[in-house]
Amino acid sequence: MAAEKESDWSGFFSGCVPPPNADSSARAMAEFAERHSAQGRRVVLVTSGGTKVPLESRTVRFLDNFSSGWRGAGSAEYFLELGYAVVFLHRHRSLSPFSRRYSGLNLLDALKAVPVAETTRWRVEADQAALPGIVPVLQRYTAVREAGLLLPVEFSTLSDYLYLLRAAAQALSPSGPKAMFYLAAAVSDFFIPASEMPEHKIQSGASPLQLTMQMVPKMLAPLVKDWAPHAFVTSFKLETDSSQLVARARKALATYRHQVVVANTLETRRVYVVIVTEDSQIDLALSENEVKQQQEIEEKIVQHLSECHTNFIEKSKSPE
Ligand code: PAZ
């Protein structure tokens, strides 16, 4: 069974083209994790956003999903607040830490060009009222950037994501139990292998389009078993039927034997999640008051998981 799983994912990688940033990102992630581990810092990989699944090799059309990257981007900020160094593996054009709050704005509406007196130069002024909370956000962002605590790495397609996830796991693995994986990206379960994909744009004809897609091998299996076997791994499970939520989270834990599943439903994901471990189940929710005060469920999730991570690190020090 284990050998079968391994051939699933190694077969997947041999059938696809590495993303253009594969080598440079692998080097950057390894250097980042090594530097921060050497300084005694915990390192977390946050994955974020949806994946694009091409239907043609010269891709005109693709399948996508709803994920905005809000959870991943917000969580990255809270991990930084708690002293983690963060590798932020995110979908191209999904939300980013700090700037996520302003993603719906037209930046040009918040800026004004003002002539500098007695010169031919101009300076740019920002209208703070159009950018709520911008000063503290900018201060935190600048401090994080100057300390080199955040490494953004971009993916676009499903296969790019899987390549970079494997490279990230290999980069963080030497950090042992101090490494955390926080897998919040919404990754497609289905794909068309390169060998079965039409090269050119699918033509419209008289008959409806029929697609046959293969199952994507579950990368959680090699991640937990081979790529980063001593790390603390949290996966996410999204369902639309809340009656199945916890049972499916438990099934994932039993199958992959990692540490935590954060279970959420599509409609309530901004205010309610269930944190499921082998021997516990904890509800985290925002009260109406907390929602009014614009508190975020990601803060509670990250706080809770960092405590679980502390216990995990302590336990890994003591002999069985
Ligand atoms: O990106 P977002 O904030 O819109 O949504 C977050 C989420 C629902 C994608 C995430 O919480 C999650 O559940 N990810 C795993 C999805 C899955 O079951 O594959």
> pLDDT of 148-177, one tens digit each?
999 999 999 999 999 999 999 999 999 999
- For the CA of 70, the closest atom of ligand 1 is 3
Q: Please list, in sequence order, all residues whose beta carbon lies within 8 angstroms of the beta carbon of residue 201, skipping any fewer than 6 positions away.
A: 56, 58, 60, 61
Alpha helices (runs of H) in the chain, residue ranges in sequence order:
2-14, 22-38, 70-81, 107-110, 134-146, 158-172, 220-222, 245-256, 288-292, 297-317
Report yes or no: 88 and 46 within 8 Å, Cβ to Cβ.
Answer: yes
What separation in Å is there between the alpha carbon of 264 and the centre of ligand 1? 8
- For the CA of 66, the closest atom of ligand 1 is 4
Residue owning the nearest CA to atom 8 of ligand 1: 238
In short, whether 258's Cβ falls inside 6 Å of ligand 1 is no
What separation in Å is there between the alpha carbon of 242 and the centre of ligand 1? 15
pLDDT tens per residue across span 246-292: 999 999 999 999 999 999 999 999 999 999 999 999 999 999 999 99
Residue owning the nearest CA to atom 16 of ligand 1: 186
What separation in Å is there between the alpha carbon of 179 and the centre of ligand 1? 21
- Identify the CA nearest to 69 among candidates 41, 44, 50: 50
- For the CA of 239, the closest atom of ligand 1 is 18
In short, whether 90's Cβ falls inside 6 Å of ligand 1 is no
pLDDT tens per residue across span 216-252: 999 999 999 999 999 999 999 999 999 999 999 999 9
Per-domain residue ranges for the chain? Answer: 2-230
Report the CATH architecture of 2-230. 3-Layer(aba) Sandwich (3.40)
| Extended beta strands in 108-149, E state | 111-115, 122-126
* Residue 206: pLDDT band with limits 50, 70, 90: confident
pLDDT tens per residue across span 61-112: 999 999 999 999 999 999 999 999 999 999 999 999 999 999 999 999 999 9
What separation in Å is there between the alpha carbon of 121 and the centre of ligand 1? 47
In short, whether 236's Cβ falls inside 6 Å of ligand 1 is yes
What separation in Å is there between the alpha carbon of 54 and the centre of ligand 1? 20
What separation in Å is there between the alpha carbon of 162 and the centre of ligand 1? 16
